Amino acid sequence: MYEFVRGPLVWIAFIGFFGGLLYRFITMARLARKDKVVYATFDAKYGLRSLLHWVIPFAGVNMRMRPIYTLLSYAFHICVLVTPLFLMGHAVLWQESWGIRWWSLPEGIADIMTLVVVFACIFFIIRRLVRPEVRNVSYPSDFLLALLVMAPFVTGFVAHQQWLPYKPMIIIHGLSGALWLLLIPWTRLVHMMWFPFTRAYMGSEFGSVRHSKDW
Amino acid sequence: MADLQDIQVIDPGVDESIKKLTPERIERTINRVLTEESAARLQIYLDTCVHCGLCAEACQSYISRDGDPDYAPVAKVKDTLWEMVKRKGKVDGEFLHNAARIAFIDCGACRRCSAYCPFGIDISYLIMTVRRILNLLGVVPQYLQDTTNSHAVTMNQMWVQQDDWIDTLMWQEEDAQAELAGTRIPLDKEGAEIMYSIIGPEPKILAQLIANMAIIFKVAGADWTMPSTDGWDNSNMAMYSGDFETMGRVERLHWERAMQLKVKRVVMGECGHAYRGAVYDGPRWLGWTKPPIPMVHAVEYYYELLKSGRIKIARKIEEPVTVQDPCNIVRGRGLHHKLRYVINEICEDFHDMEPRYEHNYCCQAGGGLINCGPPWKLSRMKSNRIKADQIRETGAHTVITPCHNCHSGIEDIIGHYKLGCHVSFISELLVKTIEMPNAGEEA
Ligand code: SF4
Ligand code: SF4
Ligand code: SF4
């Protein structure tokens, strides 16, 4: 099992992840042709202008209205993307499986980043429970997704600290991480791929058709 | 929890129509719109929304109702589209009753929330999709449906007949001449620089606005014309009732008329949604990326006249004024700075609202809301307490509203919240303040 998790599972997860995203991308691009206005409206300048304002922290009004949420959300998204890619433990795997060698995060920093992800997820879950406007639109799947995102980070951290037996922990870690990757294309987590497109589209509409700003 | 009084409103256009529906028809209609009529945008917006609620604070109805979660933009989609998708179109009459209230009354399609959602999800588009479904089911508030019927039959919003139209223009020409000798309303003048287009309510109930504009054109020495026949009304309530076929007919006829007259551009009166229909929704439905002839909103046109000195202000208005930024020309066209320039030219004592420009709150009358009529007025008032607060804070005696819906909507708010001020179009202020040439100079 341990070997499976370290080897074939990684392959399966990545193929499923990229394959899923590619499939979703192609079907959406086709669907966009049916939506007569989409391609005609896209405008590189205004699309990028809007995107930039939504990528730079506090560039938009809504981000300034809720500074704590904004900070946490940025910290979370950076850590959730960067940590798995540049973790030392993963770097070894990259090298073993594909012979790729790249820079990895110093261990202390990686630990902190992992904890940021975990705490941010807990914060998001609590926010879902206590803010009426968020609770009202939360489905059970929203909580499950937050837990799913958290799972590989918690298990990886526990395994790394060796608080619990290492091998079983790594197996759970690998399985949850793979599940995470495999589910991204098919759940709301797909927002990671759609974000630039929806934002740029709205930016294009606001900029080129309506001559105004959307941030 | 949605407001109980609102839930109990009975609107025959909604409730009587629901009684006639069969479950099969509901299911078929919903699924047709979801799968055949809409495509990538619907799919990607439903996929991407992470249910975070960050859009809540954007909506005047959510704020005005003390953060009632049911009035958050995302909640309006959840209680309509999400459920329709989840239940694969198998929804009942009670569901449709609520969906109609949410789609037609609680959302003014003002698009403020798209500037608050990190993904730029177009809630207004999603709500319009709900309206489209309801329209195909015949479930539309009665008053709104009546204006749509009027569009379908007469090509204008208010059942104005051909003879009434000409008669009103001639009457307004005479009125204008009493103010400024030699003023004309030139009909069907081929090759004029400008076609002036207005919306149905002007000849019907606010005819003096036509005379105002004739005077302004006269003072500016403009080469302008109006069509003598259908195509003069560029307002479009069909766009808001979900009857996109009629919307398309209205817009096409309007542009065809302008093409026939071979004008260089169309100046349109002080209306926000008409602008949106003519420049944005109409062309998109017709498959054009933009209108065939440039369109200029009255605010832009006044700006041009004042800036170039073609009209001059003789004496400014002294009392304190503020302005309602109409979403459809501000968030919808970026005219807020020009609007401020015009106002500061005309008025001494201008106090701005906060938030303003693109971030101004909708009047909760646009998007077809006010056209849903008296049964829904109280709901509209409750949904825009924040606007009353905004106006009160400015201390203004006059709220300038360069949009017909804003005009009526703000008037309602002023009455309901007893703000003691009044509303005014810019043209009304302009005719009071511009330098008129001496009557003697006029031939
Ligand atoms: S009224 Fe405006 S802010 Fe509120 S939900 Fe509709 S589009 Fe969004
Ligand atoms: S519409 Fe946007 S802001 Fe509102 S809940 Fe969905 S993702 Fe969040
Ligand atoms: S009526 Fe005015 S404020 Fe209201 S939606 Fe239209 S343009 Fe916006």
Q: What average pLDDT score do residues B313-323 get?
A: 96
Q: Which residue in B48, B114, B289 is closest to A214 by CB distance?
A: B114
Domain contains A215: no
Which residue bears the tokens 């003879």? B163
Q: Is the pLDDT of residue B441 over 80?
A: no
Domain contains A180: yes
CA A40 → CA B111, B247, B249, distances in Å? 20, 21, 22
Q: Is the pLDDT of residue B1 over 80?
A: no
Q: What's the pLDDT score for residue B310?
A: 96
**Of B328, B312, B296, B310, whose CA–CA distance to B196 is shortest?**
B296
Q: What's the pLDDT score for residue A107?
A: 87
Is residue A181 within a helix (H) or strand (E), and if so which, with residue range? helix A166-183
Pick the residue from chain A with its C-alpha nearest to B37. A35
ipTM of the complex: 0.94
Q: Is the pLDDT of residue B442 over 50?
A: no
pLDDT tens-digit series, residues B115-145 = 999 999 999 999 999 999 999 999 999 999 9
- Indicate the average pLDDT of chain B: 94
Q: Is the pLDDT of residue B440 over 50?
A: no
Domain contains A15: yes
Q: Is the pLDDT of residue A3 over 90?
A: no
Spatial distance between the Cα atoms of A125 and A139, rounded to a whole number of angstroms? 12
B97 and B214 part of one domain:
no
Encode burial over B92-104: b for 16+ CB neighbours within 10 A, e otherwise. ebebbbbbbbbbb
Residue pair B272/B226 in contact (Cβ under 8 Å)? The answer is: no
DSSP state of A186: G
B131 and B198 part of one domain:
no
**Of A61, A8, A5, whose CA–CA distance to A212 is shortest?**
A61
Spatial distance between the Cα atoms of A211 and A203, rounded to a whole number of angstroms? 10
CA B212 → CA A192, B47, B441, distances in Å? 54, 50, 20
Residue pair A28/B40 in contact (Cβ under 8 Å)? The answer is: yes
Q: Given an 8 Å threshold on Cβ–Cβ distance, is B75 in contact with A137?
A: yes
Residue pair A42/A204 in contact (Cβ under 8 Å)? The answer is: yes
B166 and B199 part of one domain:
yes
A-contacting residues of B 368-427, CB under 8 Å? none
B136 and B153 part of one domain:
no
**Domain, as residue range, for A20:** 2-209
| Beta carbon of B405 within 6 Å of any ligand 3 atom | yes
Pairing status of strand B265-268 against strand B321-323:
unpaired
What CATH number did the domain enclosing B20 receive? 1.10.1060
Q: Given an 8 Å threshold on Cβ–Cβ distance, is A198 in contact with B121?
A: yes
B32 and B105 part of one domain:
yes
Q: Is the pLDDT of residue A92 over 90?
A: no
Pairing status of strand B224-225 against strand B265-268:
unpaired
pTM > 0.90: yes or no? yes
Domain contains A214: no
Q: What average pLDDT score do residues B229-256 get?
A: 94
Q: pLDDT band at residue B443, thresholds of 50, 70 and 90?
A: very low
B245 and B330 part of one domain:
no
Which tokens hold the place of A63? 């981000």
Q: Given an 8 Å threshold on Cβ–Cβ distance, is B72 in contact with A136?
A: yes
B26 and B61 part of one domain:
yes
Q: What's the pLDDT score for residue B60?
A: 97
Q: What average pLDDT score do residues A160-184 get?
A: 92
pLDDT tens-digit series, residues B57-101 = 999 999 999 999 999 999 999 999 999 999 999 999 999 999 999
> Which of A21, A136, A144, A211 is the best residue to mutate to test the B interface, defined by the most B CB atoms within 10 Å of its own CB?
A136
Q: What's the pLDDT score for residue A2?
A: 79
Domain contains B202: yes
Pick the residue from chain A with its C-alpha nearest to B78. A137
What is the phi/psi pair of residue A154, to 5°?
A: -65, -50
Q: What average pLDDT score do residues A202-207 get?
A: 92
- How many folded domains does chain A comprise? 1
What CATH number did the domain enclosing B397 receive? 3.40.50
Ligand 1 mean position, distance from CA B123 (Å): 7
Q: What average pLDDT score do residues A98-115 get?
A: 87
> Chain B contacts of A25, Cβ < 8 Å?
none
Domain contains B443: no
Domain contains B258: yes
Domain contains B442: no
**Domain, as residue range, for B324:** 313-433
Which tokens hold the place of B139? 């479930």
Q: pLDDT band at residue B438, thresholds of 50, 70 and 90?
A: low
Residue where one domain finishes, among candidates B270, B304, B338? B304
Q: Given an 8 Å threshold on Cβ–Cβ distance, is A194 in contact with B47?
A: yes
Q: What average pLDDT score do residues B225-232 get?
A: 95
A-contacting residues of B 327-366, CB under 8 Å? 330-335, 358-359
pLDDT tens-digit series, residues B342-387 = 999 999 999 999 999 999 999 999 999 999 999 999 999 999 999 9
B411 and B396 part of one domain:
yes
B154 and B300 part of one domain:
yes
Q: What average pLDDT score do residues B163-168 get?
A: 94
What CATH number did the domain enclosing A176 receive? 1.20.950
Residue where one domain finishes, among candidates B264, B281, B304? B304
- How many folded domains does chain B comprise? 3
Residue where one domain finishes, among candidates B287, B304, B321? B304
B174 and B130 part of one domain:
no
Which residue bears the tokens 């002294």? B318
Which residue bears the tokens 């003002």? B110
Q: Given an 8 Å threshold on Cβ–Cβ distance, is B358 in contact with A209?
A: no
Domain contains B174: yes
Spatial distance between the Cα atoms of A120 and A69, rounded to a whole number of angstroms? 10
B292 and B217 part of one domain:
yes
A-contacting residues of B 73-112, CB under 8 Å? 74-75, 78
B182 and B258 part of one domain:
yes
Pick the residue from chain A with its C-alpha nearest to B56. A133
pLDDT tens-digit series, residues A17-26 = 999 999 999 9
